Amino acid sequence: MSIYEQGLAPAAVNHIALSPLSFLERTASVYPHYPAVIHGSIRRDWAETYARCRRLASALAGRGIGPGDTVALMLPNTPAMLEAHFGVPMIGAVLNPLNVRLDAEAIAFMLQHGEAKVLITDREFHEVIHAAVGMLDHPPLVIDVDDPEYGEGQAVSDLDYEALLAEGDPHFAWQWPDDEWQAISLNYTSGTTGNPKGVVYHHRGAYLNSLGNQMTWAMGHHPVYLWTLPMFHCNGWCYPWTITALAG
C-alpha cells in the first residue's frame, strides 16, 4: 500500500460532500441581514430566507417526505421556487421543476414517471394542474401557492403553502447528504420526439454547475433574488443555487 493511502482516508476533518446547501448555510451565517428576496412588497433577508427553507423542510418531513422522494414544482420565478430549491434537498428529497409551458398530458407523464409524492404549484397554472392531476391514478399531495403579485387564478388544493410552512420548525436540524453523488434534482426534456426524458443531477453536479455559472454570468457580487428575472426550465433550474453562491 502506498504511503499516500495510509491514514489519509476522507474524514469529517478533511472532507465534506459538495452541495449547494452549503451556499445558503454560509450566506445566512455571514450576511444574515443582507437583502435576499424582493418580490413586490415582500422584502426578506438571508436569515429569514434560511428560516423559511428550514420550515419547508421540517413541514415536508412531518408529512412523511424523506430521502429519495420526489417533490415536483410548477412555479414561476417566485420566493417559493427559491425556498424549494433548498428546503426539498435539506431532507434528502429530490427536486423536480416542471416546465410551466407544457400541456397537461406532458405534466401528468412527468408526475407519474418521476413518482412525485408532492406537487407545489402556483394558482396561475390551476387549469393545467387540475387536468394533469386528474389523469393520475395516485396523485401527489398538492400544495397551493397563492402568489400575492399574481392576484388571479383558482386554488389548486386545500393545503396552502404558507399554512404548510407554519407547520415547520425554523430551527429544523436538516441533514447533509450522505454522499455528494446523492440525487438533488430531476429535470425533464419537453418530449418533442416522444415522451419526456428525465435527467438526474446530484449534489456535487449542482454545486459545480452553480460555481461554473458564477464564472460565465455577469451577476456581480451579492445578487438579490428578484421575481422579474427569467427562469426557464430546464436551462434555468439551478438559478436559485447560483445566486445564493454569489451572495456569500
The residue that leads in pLDDT, 36 or 240, is 36
**Residue 200 within a domain:** yes
Give the domain CATH number at 129: 3.40.50.12780
Give per-residue pLDDT as tens, 67-93. Answer: 999 999 999 889 999 999 999 999 999
Domain that holds residue 97: 51-217+228-237
SS (H, E, C) the chain: CCHHHCCCCCCCCCCCCCCCHHHHHHHHHHCCCCEEEEECCEEEEHHHHHHHHHHHHHHHHHCCCCCCCEEEEECCCCHHHHHHHHHCHHHCCEEEECCCCCCHHHHHHHHHHCCEEEEEEEHHHHHHHHHHHHCCCCCCEEEEECCCCCCCCCCCCCCEHHHHHHCCCCCCCCCCCCCCCCEEEEEECCCCCCCCCEEEEEHHHHHHHHHHHHHHCCCCCCCCEECCCCCCCCCCCCHHHHHHHHHC
Report the pLDDT averaged over residues 154-182. 95
pLDDT at 226: 58
pTM: 0.89
Query: Does the pLDDT value for residue 121 go beyond 90?
Result: yes
pLDDT at 211: 82
Q: In the chain, what percentage of residues exceed pLDDT 90?
A: 66
Tell me how many domains the chain contains.
Answer: 1
Report the pLDDT averaged over residues 156-176. 96
**Residue 16 within a domain:** no
**Residue 79 within a domain:** yes
